[in-house]
Amino acid sequence: MALQLRIVVPSELTGDVVSIARSQAAVSEITVMAGAAMLPAGDVIVLQAVREGVEELLQKLHTLNIAEVGSLSVTAPELVISDRLDKAEGQVAGDGADAIIWDEVEQDTSDDSKLTWSYLAFLAIAVQLAGIGIVTDSTIAIVGAMVVGPEFGPLAGLALAIVDRRWKLARRAAAALCLGFPVAMLLAALATAASVWLGLFSPADVLGANRATEFIYHPGPYSFIVAVLAGAAGMLSLIGKKSAALVGVFISVTTVPAAGYVAVALVLGEPGRAAGSALQLLLNAAGIVLSAALVLLGYRLARRRRPAPTRYSAAHARAAIGGVGSRSAFRR
């Protein structure tokens, strides 16, 4: 799996970037376009590398503070035909499908953890669908609410914040959860009260026994177990860019349905069921955050124990890295 890195830096940093790129077994191509950048003025460097080595490459490039003086972007080409890339892939330990790029994970989770109008809209719609599924005893509507719900983004962001100790991200994700859910639940409660007033459903039917949605307000050990499994699968799918698996995660957890049941139960005067649903919501959220954090920790520990690439000897690698700053590695 190939990735392309496009780097814009002042001309005086070009030699440093090329030296770092040459020291990495994962890099198969280096292209320098001198003076191609106008704003900011400088050079454009394009690197092609195998995904499993990009994280190490990025860590070394970050020491040059490229973000402050230029930019660095990473894209994935649809198709690359290159023997050099194939050889580089054979020299780098690990597999591209299992490789984690922390900058990528941080950007994805950070973007999905913001309390935006679109996030509130999706969450409100999802909780409304859950409320409709509860009062109509429709499992289809409940599943639809699970799919529409955007809550996994802030939960994943919270897990990353715990592992990375990024408290700003933690506050942002917590705000999205602690403000988003009450707003969505309030709207669902108002809709439930309006439906009762309009005679759209009978409260007696909703409160009847043996309902298909009874599992929502009856949390148990498997509620937490399912949330843990879903959180692990969700983080793995986020890391591996497998969106299909992420949809399955949404369907397996009952965070949004539980929030909807809290709203409906409170309007219908059932504090016991509301409390059970609230516990279900907390168990699911805690299980997802815990397992997602453990997955990230596992990746971090595995990366630290990963053997060094075999393409270069240790002495060669130290010499190449030690040469950063010299201009002998790059001549125009």
Ordered DSSP codes for 62-99: HTTTHHHHSEEEEE--S----HHHHHHHHHSSS-GGG-
Give the predicted TM-score (pTM) of the model. Answer: 0.77
Rounded to whole angstroms, the Cα distance separating 322 from 35 reads 26
Q: Tell me how far apart the alpha carbons of residues 307 and 36 are, in angstroms, rounded to a whole number.
A: 38
pLDDT confidence of residue 235: 87
Cα(325)–Cα(123) distance, integer angstroms? 50
Closest by Cα among 114, 145, 143 to 127: 145
Q: Would you write out the chain's pLDDT as a tens digit for each of its 332 residues?
A: 789 999 999 999 999 999 999 999 889 999 999 999 999 999 999 999 998 889 889 989 999 999 999 999 999 898 888 888 888 888 877 666 667 787 888 887 777 888 899 999 999 999 999 999 988 888 889 999 998 999 999 999 999 999 888 888 899 999 999 999 999 999 999 999 999 898 888 777 766 654 667 888 888 888 899 999 989 988 888 877 666 566 666 777 789 999 999 999 999 988 999 999 999 999 999 999 999 999 988 887 776 544 443 333 333 333 443 444 443 344 44
CA distance 186 to 89: 53
**DSSP letter assigned to residue 208:** -
- Amino acid letter, 307: P
CB 289 within 8 A of CB 174: no
- The crossing angle, in degrees rounded to 10, of helices 117-136 and 167-198 is 40
In the chain, DSSP finds a helix count (H) and a strand count (E) of: 15, 4
Rounded Cα gap, residues 183 and 150, in angstroms? 14
* Amino acid 330: pLDDT: 42
CB 1 within 8 Å of CB 96? yes
Contact 276, 198 (CB under 8 A): no
Collect all residues with Cβ–Cβ distance below 8 Å to 201 and sequence separation of at least 6.
135, 136, 195
